[in-house]
Every structure is written in C-alpha cells, then in structure tokens.
A and B are shown apart, each in its own frame.
Chain A
Amino acid sequence: MSPNNSNQSALPKYRTIIIAVALIVGIPLGIQACNQASTRDEGRRVIQIRQPSENISGQEVAVLTQAPNVPPPITRNHPTRVIVNLDVVEKTVRLADSVEYAAWTFGGSVPGNFIRVREGDLVELHMKNEASSTMPHNIDLHGVTGPGGGAKISLTLPGHESVFTFSAMNPGLFVYHCAMSPVPMHIANGMYGMILVEPKEGLPKVDKEFYVMQSEFYTKGKYGAHGLQTLDMDKGVDERPTYVVFNGGVGAVTGDGALKAKVGDRIRMFVGNAGPNLTSSFHVIGQIFENVYGEGGSTNAEHNVQTTLIPSGGSAVVEFGATVPGDFILVDHAIFRAFNKGTLGILTVTGPENKKIIESIQSGVAAPPAK
C-alpha cells in the first residue's frame, strides 16, 4: 500500500502534463474529427433561417379531398399562390352504427379536408365559419411558421370569414386543428385534418395514396350507446377515450370505406394522429412498411418497419408494396383500442396469389399428442 500511496501523490503532476499535451495536440485533431463527423452524418444539418420564395408565379385553387382520398400529386415545378377554401361546419357525424356525435369540422367531415401544396407555395387560406355554427373557430396549421400556426389571425365568428396567407417553407406532412379556447374541446369535437407540403423535388411516384387519420372521442354514453353523443369532459381529462377510430368513426375504413389496391401496387399512406391524447402504434397486419417517413418529415426514412409511433398532433408517411391479395388490417397496435374502441381499418388487395410468398401446407389439422 505504501509505495502505491507515494505514486498516487505524484500522479497529479503527471496528469497536468498529460492533459496539457493532450490539449495542444488534441485540439487540432478534435476539430478535424468534428469536421469529418459533420460531413458523414447526413441526418445532421445546419439550422436554417428559412425565407419565403421570391418568385411566386401564377395562382390556383387547391383541390381538397375527404378521407381516405388524397389530392393528386403536384406536377408544377415552381411555387405558386394556392387558394385554399376551408369551411368550418358544425354538423352531426356518424361515430358508429346508431351513434352520432355533434361534431365541429373543417370541410364538413371528420377528419377535415386534406390539403396538398408544394414547398415554397404561398398559401392563401380562406376560412369561412358557417352562419349556423355555434362557436367562433380558428386554425393552427403545423405547417405554418408564425404565432399560433395561424390561429391568431384566423379567429372567425359564425357567419364570418378570415383570409390569411402563409409561406409553406418546410416540406412535410402536417396536422392542422382548431386552437380556439377551450382547445381540447375543439379538437375532441373533430376539428383536425392534414396538409401535405410536397418537397420541391416531388415525391416518388406510387400507384395508390390514402389519407388515414386516427383520433379519439370522449362521449357521455358508453361505447356503442345509441343516439346523439357529446363530449364528456371528465373522460377527456382522464384520457379515457370511449372511441379510438380511423377517419372519424368505427368502421369508416371498412366495407364501402375500405382502402382498395391491386397486387403490384406501390402504396403510400399519409397517416395522422389528431389525438387529442393518445399516441398511436400504427401497424398494418400482414405488411411491413418499406419506408416510414417518421414524424411526417420528408427526407429521412426508416426501412422495414413493423409498427410506427405517431404522436398526438403528429404524422407519418408509410409506404409499401402490395404483394399478395387479401384483407390487410390497419390497427393501432395498442390493441384493445383496435378491438374494443374502433381503430380497425381494412386495405383490400386483389390480384393473383403468389404461393412462393405465402402458402398453406395444412391449416389447423388435429395434432394428437405423440404416444
């Protein structure tokens, strides 16, 4: 112990020298290392102070669609002034069989109309609040840079209209929603939708695009209780949804509403989550996502993903190829929600079987215990 002790007492001096040498030699090396790292790591980029496009030319009226439809891809190669007419409509919507909800909507449906513009476009948004509405409303688009995402300048009384412009500077898939007080009630009542800002270079061509948005409803009645339902505050505060659904209602993406594709189709889904509370574990049973643009971003994709998280107020773009026919079930893989609260949808793929991909050898044949 004693020789060690004497060594230790001498160590601090050596340490100082070693550290000093390391600093002198290491600083230039370190800088070099950092430079190399920054060029290698494509995911990291310098924060940009974005500027609006200066050469906006022409004008067009945006084609808006109701879920599960998506407006056609943008073929323009320049930014333009895009007029978006988004009406606020308070109306009763179907939440499940024999269950209705006194909803507040963008465009008359839950979820609200899908808006598609191009990076750099100047969007002129006209928001008319129908005269029959009971509340003032506004809009916060997550694709807008500015206070409240536009909410502040879009406050609109029933029977009135607001118009404002914004520059769609960041590409991506963005949620929009009403942000009028009390905000949770406006979102819980159905006031949300999505806006896609296509990157300048466009998106790779696919065969089918779909719009799917998850959301919760908190109703006074239990799941399935018939009649007109309205918001149950306590359930909302406690985050105990009565319904968790795709595209505004139980079964909205089944039957006639099922998504349809053919074997060989390349499929892109624009998936949003309006919340107001839950995070979605989005999964398509029997498919693997080839590409997932997480958080609705436009550049970095994850590949070969089974289930992707979509936060409340967030989105993801998922892409995959249809390889074999059948029904592929969209679920929130927080699975009680799917089977007891409504997050079930169907993608029906038709076309030729491919037994090299999946084939039944024997199915459920009795297997007696070995003797």
Chain B
Amino acid sequence: MNVAGTALSLGALSVLLAGMVHVPAGDYLPIRGMGGQRMHVAAFEMDAHAVTRGDYLAFVKTHAEWQRGKVDPKHADATYLAEWRGALEPGDAMDLRHPVTSVSWFAASAYCEAQGKRLPTTDEWEYVAAASDVSRDASQDQLFQSRLLGMYASRSTSAIAPIGRGFRNVYGIEGLHGSTWEWTRDFKPAEMTNCAGAAMGASDATNYPALLREAFRSALTERSTARMLGFRCAANAPA
C-alpha cells in the first residue's frame, strides 16, 4: 500500500500524512456492561490531536448550515459555539489553536463526516485513553490513574490549552486528558445511571478517571454543547 511504509512505522506515517495515528487492535476493560470481561477493539485510526477552532472555522465556512446563528436548534442547544466572537470569528490567532468546544454531537459528527472520518466509538476512545506514556494499558497503574485524576480535578483551575501541549500517550495521541472532554459516537452508556447507582456495577469502582468520563457522557444529549467538551475524529483502519 504505502511505499514509505517499509521505512517508517505505520503509526508515524499516519501522523505525518493525515494527522492521524494508527491504533493496533487490542482489548480493554470497560467501566461497565461487560461483567468484568475485556472488550476487543479492532485496529483503527485516530486523530493525534483534538479538532481545533481553526479546523472548525474552515468547516463552517464551507458548511454554512453549521455556523452559529444558522444551525438548526434541533441539532445544537443555545450555547453552540458560545465563546466565538462571531459566526466566523473564533478568536485570535492563539484561539485558533485551541480545541473547538461548545459543539454538539450532531455538529461533531458532521465535521468528521466532511473529513471522510467519523467520531470514535466509546470503546475506541476508552481503549486509547487507558494508555499511559509507556504502556498501552495503564488502567491498573495506580500512579498513572492518580495523575489523571489530578489532571481532571485541576482542569477548573486552568484555561483551555492549545493543542500539542497536553499529555501524549504511548500511541503518540495527544490531549485526550488535557483541557477538555471529548465526544464519542455512542456516548450514552448502555445502562445510563447518574446517581449513587453509578458506582454499582462498575467493573472497577476505583477507576475514578473512567467514572468521571462516563459521568460526563451520561449527562449529554445529541444537542448538548459545553465549554469543556470538544472532539476528535477516527476512521476505520485501511483494509
């Protein structure tokens, strides 16, 4: 397929060519729904970084129906792109490098589709999120989980950071745990709970980072937008 593939690893090549990283097949332990069984995840491609305001600006320029003010209220709630100065003004040059946030699931899906991509599934996202900088599965690495929890807990004390500065995991995927939460294709947990019941039935009740991510997703509808919620795209691995 790729001539250069013989010289470079496929992952590194993907980063160079399309801003995507190849994620090999594997498995992980979902926080819920598998009765403690690990879930197989097929190989796929994932954006190395979150989609930026700059990326999204280019999209709404060519897809006017997704501009603020024009978007169908059925597809995004009232805070859609609320931080932008205008429909085509995401902010200054620095803001263009920030993850785009306050976009709905409909909008994020449309963006990815326009790139010939799709949103990652929750399993794909969580599978990649289980990786530390040295291990593909750091879900039982207490130090790493503690570090993640600290990152999440201190989010409220720092501004959203430009892409590229966040934590980079062993796949070379950056910013999954940085400033923002991210949409997934099937964000609603199968057993949607949001109260005390949430800890019951969790495969690992001490995995607070995973519980927090699940809790955030559980509060969403397809129209929801929030300042701390962005996204990145994925794609099936080439056959």
CB of A185 closer than 8 Å to a CB of B: yes
CA distance A78 to B227 in the complex (A): 43
B155 at the interface (CB under 8 A from A): yes
Q: Tell me if A183 is interfacial: C-beta within 8 Å of chain B.
A: yes
Please tell me if A290 contacts chain B, counting CB pairs below 8 Å: no
B212 interface hit (Cβ, 8 Å): yes
Provide the B190-215 mask, 1 if CB < 8 A to any CB of A, else 0: 00011110110000001010011011
Looking at the complex, which one of B142, B156, B181, B206 makes contact with A102 (CB distance below 8 Å)? B156
**Residues of the A chain whose Cβ atoms lie less than 8 Å from the Cβ of B194:** 136, 138, 151-152, 155, 180-181
Q: A155-B194, A159-B82 are in contact. List 17 more A-B contacts (CB 8 A).
A: A104-B156, A134-B228, A135-B212, A136-B194, A156-B219, A159-B102, A159-B226, A160-B77, A160-B79, A179-B195, A183-B195, A183-B196, A185-B212, A220-B146, A232-B146, A233-B145, A233-B206
Contact A233 B149 (CB under 8 A): yes
Is the CB of A258 closer than 8 A to any CB of chain B? no
A292 → chain B closest CB, angstroms: 29
Q: Indicate if A99 sits at the interface (CB-CB under 8 A).
A: no
Could you pull out 10 A-B pairs where Cβ atoms are within 8 angstroms? A131-B227, A132-B156, A136-B215, A138-B194, A148-B196, A158-B226, A180-B219, A182-B212, A230-B149, A230-B150
User: B228 to A133, Cβ gap below 8 A?
Assistant: yes
The CA of A91 and the CA of B142, in the complex, are separated in Å by 26
The answer to whether B150 and A220 touch across the interface, beta carbons within 8 angstroms, is yes
Contact of A181 (CB < 8 Å), options: B206, B211, B224, B227: B211
Cβ of A135: which chain B residues have Cβ within 8 Å of it?
212, 215-216
Contact assessment for B226 and A157 in the assembled complex, using a CB-CB cutoff below 8 Å? yes
Question: Size band of the B side of the interface?
Answer: 35 or more
B110 at the A interface (CB under 8 A) = no
CB distance from B143 to the nearest CB of A (A): 11
A232 / chain B contacts, CB cutoff of 8 Å: 146
B220 close to A (CB within 8 Å): yes
Total contacts A to B, CB within 8 angstroms?
109
Instruction: Note all chain B residues with C-beta closer than 8 A to A119.
Output: none
B8 contacts chain A at the CB level, 8 A cutoff: no
Interface of A toward B, CB cutoff 8 Å: 90-92, 102, 104, 131-136, 138, 140, 148, 151-152, 155-160, 179-183, 185, 189, 220, 228, 230-234, 237
Tell me whether B121 is interfacial, beta carbon within 8 Å. no
Q: When the two chains form their complex, are residues B198 and A183 in contact, meaning their CB atoms are under 8 A apart?
A: yes
B211 contacts A148, C-beta separation under 8 Å: no
Bound CA span A172–B129, Å = 46
- B195 and A152 form a contact (CB under 8 A): yes
- In contact, A148 and B157 (Cβ under 8 angstroms): no
What is the bound-complex CA distance between A168 and B102, given in angstroms? 37
Residues in A whose Cβ lies below 8 Å from that of B199:
181-183
Q: Contact check, B195 vs A151: say whether CB atoms are below 8 A apart.
A: yes
A92-B157, A135-B216 known; A231+B149 contact, CB < 8 A = yes
Q: Are B195 and A148 in contact (CB under 8 A)?
A: yes
The yes or no answer to B14 lying at the interface (CB within 8 A) is no
State A134–B219 Cα separation when bound (angstroms).
12
Which of A131, A157, A181, A230 gathers most chain B CB within 10 Å? A181
- The reply to whether A181 and B153 form a contact with Cβ atoms under 8 Å apart is no
Chain A residues in 8 Å Cβ range of B149: 230-231, 233
Q: Nearest Cβ distance between residue A228 and chain B, in whole angstroms?
A: 6
Find the residue from B149, B199, B226 having the highest chain A CB count within 10 A: B226
Which chain B residues border A156 with CB–CB below 8 Å? 219
Residues of B within 8 A of A220 (CB): 146, 150
B152 interface residue, CB < 8 Å from A? yes
Residues from chain A with a CB closer than 8 A to the CB of B212 are: 135, 181-182, 185
